[in-house]
Amino acid sequence: MPSPTSDSTSVLDAVADAARTALARVGPAVVRIGSGGGRGCGVVIGDGLVATNAHNLRDRTTAVTFADGREVQAEAVGVDGDRDLAVLRVDTGDAPAVEWGGAPAAGDVVFAVARGAAGGTRVAFGLVSGTERAFRGPRGRRIAGSVEHTAPLPRGSSGSPVVTPAGTVVGLSTHRVGDGAYLALPADDDLAARLADLAAGRPPVRPRLGVGLAPASVARSLRRSVGLPDRDGLLVRVVEPGGPAATAGVAEGDLLVAVAGAPVTSVDDLHDALARAGAGARVELTVVRGADERVVAVDLPAADRDDAENTPAGEEDTAK
């Protein structure tokens, strides 16, 4: 009968073997983003293509350092600031593309592979500790559906891959949670489609209203100051001339309280409701003007630029 010590040794040996396998298969595809010590990491996803986080970029061009020590200037061909994703075009040389393994589940064993600021790859062991987590992207928009893993990574590791013991990628580490865990974008079909669009130079398309908004707390305060009854909603501070909301008759000072019948009490509610409707759809907005409630139909553009529309704002709010 094996002793407890021998069982523990066997487990540790298995973990070590899996770590070496993951590192050997994925390490050559992991890159450093930025010159000098760099700002983050990325991973080769195809010939001439590297995926990373949008917050790792400072310009349309950036240095990329490969496992063989080459430092090459790359150009951003697609950036999605709301989802914190970017695809760079660069001479990847002999660096192989990673193999995608789909989204992980809670309890899965994973390894994080990153390229350190001082050079060399790092590999760390952990578990998927949770799914369906959310965090704020660089523009403040909520990014839902992320996975949390416990493989410890040093700062500057965002954009690095999370991999299975077999070396397939199941996520991109994106957001640090304290000092003990990372949130990662799962390597599901949605991520694959987004990266393919960015690699092809197709900008993200999101439905927009063409308004500048103040949060519910500001709306309540202003309504009370003029003797109007309390209502939860977002205050329209600016309406873009000729935009979808303006065309539908939405005016500055209106209180947006529902989209397609779903109550709207935060900008996250608005983003979720518009995403459910989809670009190109007609959606009904419930607005309150003074004490009068009305429903207006808004035709959302079928395609639009990637910008920071439909965000809450303070006193110096502008519509973009």
Q: Is the pLDDT of residue 8 over 70?
A: no
Cα gap 265→260, rounded to integer Å: 14
305 falls within a domain: no
Contacts 24+ apart (CB under 8 A), 127-130: 128/104, 129/181, 130/106
* pLDDT confidence bin for 317, thresholds 50/70/90: very low
120 with 41, same domain: the answer is yes
pLDDT of the residue at 306: 46
96 falls within a domain: yes
Q: Which domain holds residue 157?
A: 4-199
pLDDT of the residue at 58: 92
320 falls within a domain: no
143 with 229, same domain: the answer is no
Mean pLDDT across 193-200: 95
**193, burial (CB in 10 Å: exposed 0-12, middle 13-18, buried 19+):** exposed
Please state, for a pLDDT cut of 70, what percent of the chain lies above it.
Answer: 91
Reduce the secondary structure of 220-258 to three states and give it as a string.
HHHHHHCCCCCCCCEEEEEECCCCHHHHHCCCCCCEEEE
316 falls within a domain: no
Cα gap 58→77, rounded to integer Å: 14
**For 261, how many CA atoms within 13 A lie in the half-sphere containing its CB?**
0
195 with 247, same domain: the answer is no
The alpha-helical segments, DSSP class H, found in 27-176 are none
CATH of the domain at 252: 2.30.42.10
115 falls within a domain: yes
Region for residue 153 given its phi and psi (left: phi exceeds 0; alpha: psi -120 to 50; beta: otherwise): beta
Looking at every residue in the chain, the average pLDDT score rounds to: 88
206 falls within a domain: no
156 with 84, same domain: the answer is yes
14 with 145, same domain: the answer is yes
Q: Is the pLDDT of residue 305 over 70?
A: no
194 with 215, same domain: the answer is no
179 in Cβ contact with 214 (< 8 Å): no
Cα gap 126→149, rounded to integer Å: 6
159 falls within a domain: yes
58 with 171, same domain: the answer is yes
Rg (CA), the chain: 23
228 with 255, same domain: the answer is yes
22 with 164, same domain: the answer is yes
Tokens of 228: 């109007």
Question: Smallest Cα–Cα separation from 46: which of 100, 10, 111?
Answer: 100
The alpha-helical segments, DSSP class H, found in 100-202 are 189-199
37 with 60, same domain: the answer is yes
pLDDT of the residue at 320: 24
Question: Smallest Cα–Cα separation from 272: which of 280, 264, 282, 283?
Answer: 264
CA dihedral over 62, 43, 87, 179, signed as positive or negative? negative
Q: Is the pLDDT of residue 1 over 90?
A: no
16 with 131, same domain: the answer is yes
Cα gap 124→112, rounded to integer Å: 5
Cα gap 233→255, rounded to integer Å: 6
pTM of the model: 0.81
Number of independent structural domains in the chain: 2
Mean pLDDT across 190-215: 91
pLDDT of the residue at 4: 57
CATH of the domain at 142: 2.40.10.120
Q: Is the pLDDT of residue 311 over 50?
A: no
311 falls within a domain: no
**From start to end of 36-115, where are the E strands?**
40-46, 49-52, 61-65, 71-80, 85-89, 109-115
145 with 71, same domain: the answer is yes
Last residue of a domain, one of 162, 178, 199: 199
Question: Smallest Cα–Cα separation from 112: which of 68, 170, 54?
Answer: 170
